[in-house]
Each structure stands twice: as structure tokens, then as C-alpha cells.
Amino acid sequence: MGEPFVEALRHGSMSVELYAPKDIDIQTPHDQDELYFIHSGSGELVIAGERHQFVGGMVFFVPAYVEHRFENFSSDFVAWVVFWGQKGGER
């Protein structure tokens, strides 16, 4: 359908998605905590203005409502994303 993600699993407050944006990452902050498991590719993940280089096999945590986006990523970039917990994140 042209979307950069597809939901693979949902249970309670948890959902798992496969995320594969093309050219530009247009996501906005989410209302749940999330983990990104980098499956393939390389690039940069910007979290609250801080840049993190990534390659396949790396994992990143992004708290709920925190601005983040992938930049300068390779054409083979794919990540698994896990959202869970209450809106606003865990404290």
C-alpha cells in the first residue's frame, strides 16, 4: 500500500512492525516507548538531536514522545520496531 511499515504482531499494548522507509523518514514522535532492532543497512538515527551511527544488528531505545528520525540511511535499511506499554511511556 506504499507505507514504509507493516504490522507483524500485536498483543495487548505491544505491537511489532517491520519498518523500511525509502529516501526519507517522515515519522513523528510516538505515544509509546519503542525499540528499534536494525535488521540491515546503515545510517544515522537522530534521537532528541543526538546522532547515532547504526549498522545491522544494533538496537536503540526511544522513549515515548521523543523526536527521532533516521537519516542518511542506505537503500537496504530495514528495522524491526517494538512498541509497548502505556501512552506516555513507562516511568
In sequence order, the β-bridge partners of residue 61 are 35
53-62 pLDDT tens trace: 999 999 999 9
Tell me how far apart the alpha carbons of residues 62 and 86 are, in angstroms, rounded to a whole number.
14
The pTM is what? Answer: 0.92
Report the Cα 87 to chain-centroid distance in Å. 17
26-47 pLDDT tens trace: 899 999 999 999 999 999 999 9
- Using DSSP, state whether 28 is helix, strand or coil: coil
